[in-house]
Amino acid sequence: MAKTVHYVEVSAFAKEAGSDIIGEALAAILPAGIRIEEKAIEPETEGGVFTAEMYEHHATIKKATDIRDFISRLLSGLDEYDRKWVAENVERSVDEDCNFYLRLSKEEAVKGEYVLESKDPIHVRIKMAAYPADRKNALKAALAIISDELH
């Protein structure tokens, strides 16, 4: 798997009141020793969506063994319904820049569990190592990871 993935980025946004919980949620699902960065995002003043300060929590997994561990735990930790969804929707989850995206429930992540969620999620971006770097080759690499872990 290490040859098919460059790195993994995991991020989530939270209001000030929930910021600590989101940090705990990321720590619960990330491999040990991965540093989580927290950045304050100022409120938008004119016509913006965010009227209060938000916090972005972000971590990058670069080491091959950590990448392998995280992706393996993530995909094997999904329930049957979510595993089926990932397998059937991989084409919708890979973009032209060779990124494979998944979104996880914040609430379940606090418990160390992996559940797909689209509303206010933890964002997982897996940068596929595809040569040449195009969507077709990234899809092949993503399908290889999925078939290794889900079957």
Instruction: Give the pLDDT confidence of 138-148 residue by residue, as tens digits.
Output: 999 999 998 87
Q: Sketch the domain layout of the chain as residue ranges.
A: 2-150
CA distance 75 to 72: 6
Q: What sign results for the dihedral spanned by CA atoms 95, 113, 143, 91? A: negative
CA distance 49 to 58: 21
Tell me the average pLDDT across 57-75: 94
The pLDDT confidence band at residue 49, using thresholds 50, 70 and 90, is low
Tell me the average pLDDT across 15-38: 88
CA distance 72 to 78: 10
- Topology of the domain covering 2-150: 50s Ribosomal Protein L5; Chain: A, (3.30.1440)
Per-residue DSSP letter, 33: T
Give me the pLDDT at residue 141, please. Answer: 93
Tell me the average pLDDT across 70-89: 92
Give me the pLDDT at residue 52, please. Answer: 74
